[in-house]
């Protein structure tokens, strides 16, 4: 039984909630181990079509646990950073779409875990930032790598060098966040978005995610080659035949993930 996370599945959509509200959902080793175990199960679930990641209470994730980290030496710091970064990379590589529904503070490790998701949406009360330099360290869960890949380089550097916070609206303006909603609407909007992903051909969505993520890490010609190969593989699937038949017959498609 997990102590610090909650997981539920509504039809084919998963909802993973970080549940340590007494510490504003700060990430310590126990929290990360529970997320790691959950991700292992998510990787096995072939019926899952989308995942929503959120937090309990007034915080999404306020960062990594500073009291826990304050005793680190170089070796324990390296081990901690590697463990979290490996976990976050696995989250980023989940085959189905992932949505971070940021309900409050997303600072440090909280901003970093949000950035593992394909799409970030936020409550009007959300705050984002990478304040690590104010503690004498740098982002250690891949924040120096993901933030410049999601927002213009100058904004990433300003946020990381300055260590300040920005509002949800500011995060939307720089492209970190897709949409900002009233707090009471956030989870309904997250579910609405997840359903818009889940209704489509699951193999096609999986291949689209792979093409984007792999292509963004290479040159455009290599990316086009990746896309072409994955596009071609779609024509080996029953879902492609069903999707096109449904279009021609003017009826909803019944995708089977085959």
What is the set of active-site residues?
Answer: 112, 132
136: left (phi over 0), alpha (psi -120 to 50) or beta: left
Q: Phi and psi dihedrals of 20, rounded to 5?
A: -135, 60
Question: Are 102 and 177 a contacting pair, CB within 8 Å?
Answer: yes
Q: Which residues pair with 143 in a beta bridge?
A: none
**Shortest CA distance to 19 belongs to which of 59, 66, 79, 72?**
59
Q: Phi and psi dihedrals of 72, rounded to 5?
A: -70, 150
Helix count (H) and strand count (E) of the chain? 11, 10
Instruction: Say how far apart CA 227 and CA 219 lie, in whole Å.
Output: 12
Q: What are the DSSP E strand ranges found in the chain?
A: 5-10, 13-18, 50-55, 59-61, 98-102, 105-107, 119-123, 127-129, 165-167, 179-181
Residue located via tokens 């997303």: 106
């Amino acid at each position: 039984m997990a102590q610090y996370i909650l997981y539920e599945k509504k039809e084919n959509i998963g909802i993973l909630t970080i549940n340590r509200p007494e510490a504003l959902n700060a990430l310590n080793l126990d929290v990360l181990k529970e997320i790691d175990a959950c991700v292992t199960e998510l990787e096995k679930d072939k019926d899952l079509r989308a995942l929503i990641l959120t937090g309990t209470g007034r915080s999404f994730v306020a960062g990594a646990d500073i009291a826990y980290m304050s005793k680190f030496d170089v070796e324990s710091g390296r081990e901690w950073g590697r463990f979290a970064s490996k976990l976050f990379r696995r989250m980023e590589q989940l085959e189905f779409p992932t949505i971070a529904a940021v309900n409050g503070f997303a600072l440090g490790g909280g901003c970093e875990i949000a950035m593992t998701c394909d799409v970030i949406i936020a409550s009007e009360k959300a705050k984002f930032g990478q304040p690590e330099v104010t503690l004498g360290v740098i982002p250690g869960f891949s924040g120096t790598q993901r933030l410049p890949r999601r927002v213009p380089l100058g904004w990433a550097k300003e946020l990381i060098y300055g260590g300040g916070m920005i509002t949800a609206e500011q995060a939307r303006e720089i492209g970190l966040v897709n949409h900002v909603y009233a707090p009471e609407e956030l989870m309904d909007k997250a579910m609405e978005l997840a359903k818009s992903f889940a209704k489509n051909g699951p193999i096609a969505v999986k291949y689209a995610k792979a093409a984007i993520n792999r292509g963004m890490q290479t040159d455009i010609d290599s990316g086009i080659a990746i896309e072409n190969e994955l596009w071609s593989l779609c024509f080996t699937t029953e879902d492609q035949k069903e999707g096109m038949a449904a279009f021609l017959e003017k009826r909803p498609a019944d995708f089977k993930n085959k």
